[in-house]
Structure 1
Amino acid sequence: MIIPFRKKYPIIIRPDRHAMSLDLIDKSVLDIMNRLRRHGFQACLVGGCVRDILLGKKPKDFDIATNARPQQIKRLFRRCYLIGRRFRLAHVYISSDRFVEVATFRAAVHPDQAQTGRYAANNVYGTIEEDALRRDFTVNALYYDRADSTIIDYTGGLRDLKKKIVRSIGDPLTRFAEDPVRIIRAARFCAQLGFRTSGPDFKAALDCSSLIKEANSHRLLEELYKILRCGASAETIINLKKLRILQFWIPEITAERHESRLRRRLGALDLRRKRGVEIPNAVLVTTLLFDLFYEAMDTAAARGGFQQLFIALNGYFREMAARICLPRREWEAVCNIAARYRTFTGTNGGRRWKSFERRFVQNAHFPGALLFFEILVDATGEHRDRLEYWQARASGLPEQGLRQPEGERQGRRKDRQA
């Protein structure tokens, strides 16, 4: 799609007129940009990192846009790997587990070309102006040019940043129809930044919400993880309901009877993420879906022991897991975590309890299950004594002096009396 240039753009902001602080940019990122420039290429920071720095936030990731082609980038950096079939990207590693994404400017696509497929022309390289117009939202299309430290705005992103608005570049109805996943991204950005969608974007999102069923399942799963890790998942889910996306994406979690509990759980999850706590994917998904699991625990098939509960949960929600595109191993980990809830909260006792407890704590799924239980207790305020007991068992404290939940102490007394 071609979006015509406006005469008033680009807006170029001199270094003394903007709040872009080099202190918030990793030195290794500046080194990559400087090396590109020394070899005659243009190098700009772009996207969320520029947006966040202008808002006074420390970016988590940095993206660089350049007029260097992928093979040219690869020749400049020893630890550089090219990825992607439809659009080649360069990952330049700055440590053993961190990389900076370096992408070549992409060209605008003529509507006739776009007819051949949504991604058909992604490997057509172009200018920085064309690259800006290909991006999703105006606040994500700001460039920091390392050559003269200016901010370049081709789409009105600075204006929308000041007004706290998430606005599509071009006609929102067309952009959301091209890629409905952008609606999910808009909901997340609004939640993370405290912004709102523009009026036309909100209306277009409602009109295109059903198209999310046609989106790539792997991309949707990736967006789901981003939501649950972003530190604003509770507000993002609210935004997705307002935009009518959830009813076509994950309708199982839209029931009003679940809304309050889901919001509290996600709020507890968000607090941990804001503190920088890393949380496994299986725990994230369990936190999102636990209301469904909890209701299923009362069914006849799930009233047996742990193994019966695991089998029941796995069977009840297998179709949903396939639709969300959860890998089988990850889905089984989710069911394992959920099935352990009864053991955490139960009043187990008896002669075999010690042996069971030892195996339970040593199981590979126990750390994830305990982490989820901590989130659940933080959200509800219930079962605090049982959480403390299991935390102590996890830390390997000896039996002497270990405070057990009251229900379990009573269970053991009854066993001795019997």
Structure 2
Amino acid sequence: MLAAVEHQATAPRCFRPCHRKLNAPKDFNRLNPKASTGHALSVIPREQHTISRKNISKAALRVLYRLNEAGYDAYLVGGAVRDLLLGGHPKDFDVATNATPDEVKKLFRNCRLIGRRFRLAHVVYGNEIIEVATFRGTSEEQGEGDRHVVDGRIVRDNVWGSIEEDAHRRDFRVNAMYYGISDFSVRDYVGGMKDLHDRVLHLIGDPATRYREDPVRMLRAARLAAKLDFRIGPEAAAPFAELGPLLSGVAPARLFDESLKLFLTGHGLKSFRMLEQCGLLKFMFPATARALKRGDEALRELIEHGLENTDARISEGKSVTPAFLFAVLLWGEVRDLAYTWTTHGKDAGEAWSRAAAHVVDEQCRRVAIPRRFTITMEEIWSLQPRFEQIQRKKVFRLLAHPRFRAAFDFLLLRATESPGIAELGQWWAHAQQLPHESLAAALPLQHAASSVNMDALRAVTPRKRKRRRKPAGRSGAT
């Protein structure tokens, strides 16, 4: 465990932003030694932690230095500090300061103010955005600004305060450490350094209260545990069963953003398993939870294989699309509904179309998947039964479909459903390798195959022509 220096003092009377530059360790003595967590302030000097400025983006350093030179306190905070201490390389850098958003905007021409719920300043450098937040306060009477709470849930919070209050307004202890640009020390007000060492996630304050303030913190706990390979503290996990239904009151667009962070940042498989373990999957993807509850192990294998492939593509720097991922997660319910309606006499095309529309409609009430993705999802699903139609015109029409590649990749994932599906995938993989003329000659004009004859297709594979040898005596030499 990293060594730390503890400082004790009395809490300041006023929590209005202080525009005095905090230069030396002697100023730390003015800070509150303990707060509601019971942890004393720990200051880890530069020589006792692993954060280096060379691992911090130049844009973030520009913001930190300019705020500091203007007389404001400026700290790198949150996930960037956490990841740097763990030896990682964060992509996003957030700054906390005692300058108000309007004061930040005066310092930076390339700044825009955003947000009603949380007033923030975004400083833009090319493609990089540095988010600058003013220290949040805990009491409206002691700070300035406004806070609005409905049924225990914070719907607006723009009360400014001190750095101590800001630390205790954050969610997890590991996210409440501050890297100061004035002396390059790390300041820990809530015991985050110990949690990093123990690889555990603890909430700051009463977990039930913090989840009611913002139910998305439950999803964030699962995501961080999966990403960092941490465990969730028992007191932090205990309210999930009772408070999980609060997620239904979160804006569906916000849950879409959270789902991308869960599944499309390189640790999707771990996030999926963590959501199941915490009992939160049914509140995000009810159709997926229902299908898995029916005990379909082939479906589970399909989902986990799809997430594993997505993680591998991200690690290799390849592109991924949310449409394919959501198609994998919701496939079980779509398939079961389509089969049920087909057996009850519905036309197959209509059954698949209705099943897809029904599942997408239900899911979008929870997670607002944009239309450009749901269209692709429905096309991937609707093409699956067409793979079974081995007929000349239909085969070539399917091969020319703009979504053929995505649908074919999806078919390969379904290989665990049955030996017939696995053989179907092999058939189409082999068919794509044949010349157009050879494939056309091998396919019947009128045939709807329920099972695929791989031997018949292999029989039309062009044979390699034997190389003729030149007759003896005919050499190229003169």
TM range (shorter): 0.7 to 0.9
Residues 1:29 and 2:29 are matched in the alignment:
no
Aligned to 1:69: 100
Query: Does 1:60 find its partner at 2:95?
Result: no
Letter in 2 for 1:183: M
Hey, what's the Cα distance between the residues in 2 that align with 1:378 and 1:228? Answer: 22
User: CA distance change for structure 1 residues 126 and 372 in 2, over 3 Å: closer, same or farther?
Assistant: farther
When the two structures are aligned, how many residues end up with a matched partner? 402
Contact 2:338 / 2:351 at 8 angstroms: preserved in 1?
no
State the 1:316 CA deviation. 4.9
Higher deviation after alignment, 218-227 or 294-303 = 294-303
Q: What displacement does 1:142 show?
A: 1.1
* 1:16 aligned to which of 27, 47, 62: 47
User: 2-side partners of 1:115 and 1:102: how far apart?
Assistant: 23
The 5-angstrom pairing of residues 233-272 of structure 1 reads: 233-254=268-289, 255=293, 256-257=295-296, 258-272=299-313
Q: In structure 2, do the counterparts of structure 1 residues 353 and 201 end up closer, same or farther at CA, with 3 Å as the change threshold? A: closer
Greater shift in the superposed pair: 193-202 or 241-250: 241-250
The alpha-carbon deviation at position 370 of structure 1 amounts to: 5.6
Say if 2:302 and 2:413, in contact at 8 Å, map to a contact too: no
How far apart, in 2, do the equivalents of 1:49 and 1:316 lie?
38
- 2:208 is matched with 173
Aligned-pair distance for 1:240? 1.9
1:332 matched to 2:375: yes
Q: Which one of the candidate residues 88, 101, 104 is aligned to 2:134?
A: 104
Q: Distance in 1 between matches of 2:194 and 2:457?
A: 65
Distance 1:145 1:400, change over 3 A: farther
Counterpart position of 2:120:
89
Match of 1:41 in 2: 72
Matched residue SS, 1:124: strand
Contact 2:83 2:90 (8 Å CA) reproduced: yes
* Aligned AA (1:31): R
Q: Which moved more, 1:110-119 or 1:161-170?
A: 110-119
Which has the larger Rg? 2
1:289 aligns with 2:330: yes
Which segments of 5 or more consecutive residues in structure 2 lack a partner in the other structure?
A: 1-33, 444-451, 461-478
Distance 2:103 2:404 in 1: 48
Kept in 1, the 8 Å contact 2:59–2:128? The answer is: no
Higher helix share: 1
Secondary structure at the aligned position of 1:91 is classed as: strand
Task: Tell me, yes or no, if structure 1 residue 349 matches structure 2 residue 391.
Answer: yes
Contact 2:117/2:157 (<8 A) preserved = yes
Which amino acid is the alignment partner of residue 233 of structure 1?
G
Q: How far is 1:279 from its partner?
A: 1.6
Q: 1:8 to 1:200 in 2, by over 3 A?
A: closer
Superposed displacement of residue 128, structure 1: 1.5
Partner of 1:318: 361
Moved more, 30-39 or 130-139: 30-39
Work out the CA distance in 1 between the residues paired with 2:203 and 2:250.
Answer: 18
Partner of 1:215: 250
Q: CA deviation at 1:220?
A: 1.9
Q: Which moved more, 1:405-414 or 1:235-244?
A: 405-414
Deviates more, 1:10-19 or 1:285-294: 285-294
Overall identity of the aligned pairs, in %: 32
After TM superposition, give the deviation of residue 23 of structure 1 in Å. Answer: 2.9
Q: CA deviation at 1:227?
A: 0.8
Deviation digits for residues 292-335 of structure 1 (CA, Å, limit 9, x no counterpart): 23334434459867686345422454233333332344322221
Q: Which residue of 1 aligns with 2:30?
A: none
Per the TM alignment, residue 141 of structure 1 is displaced from its structure 2 partner at its CA by 0.9
Task: Give the secondary structure class of the aligned counterpart of 1:223.
Answer: helix
> CA shift at 1:413, angstroms?
9.3
Label 1:239 to 1:315 Cα distance change in 2 as closer, same or farther (>3 A).
Answer: closer
SS at 2:238's partner residue? helix
Change (3 A) 1:55 1:85: same
Q: Secondary structure at the match of 2:195?
A: helix
The match for 2:20 is none
Matches within 5 A, 1:75-154: 75-95=106-126, 97-109=127-139, 115=149, 118-119=153-154, 122-154=157-189
- Deviation of 1:409 after TM superposition, in Å, equals 9.1
- Write the distance in 1 (CA, Å) between the matches of 2:38 and 2:394: 79
Does the 8 Å contact 2:80/2:94 carry over to 1?
Answer: yes
Decide whether the 8 Å contact of 2:140 with 2:159 is kept in 1: no
Query: Partner amino acid for 2:213?
Result: E
1:187 to 1:400, Cα distance in 2 relative to 1, 3 A: same
| Native 8 Å contact 1:267 1:379 kept in 2 | no
State the Cα deviation string for residues 243-270 of structure 1 (Å, max 9, x = none). Answer: 2222333222122324343223222222
Distance 2:92 2:416 in 1: 29
Work out whether residues 305 and 413 of structure 2, in 8 Å CA contact, stay in contact via their aligned partners in 1: no
Q: TM-score with structure 2 length normalisation? A: 0.73
Contact 1:109 1:121 in 2 (8 A): no
Conservation of the 8 A alpha-carbon contact between 1:268 and 1:378: no
Contact 1:20 1:53 in 2 (8 A): yes
Question: Do the aligned residues in 2 keep the contact of 1:280 with 1:368 (CA within 8 Å)?
Answer: no
In 2 relative to 1, CA 115–91 (structure 1 residues): closer, same or farther, beyond 3 Å?
Answer: closer
Structure 2: how far apart are the matches of 1:228 and 1:259? 16
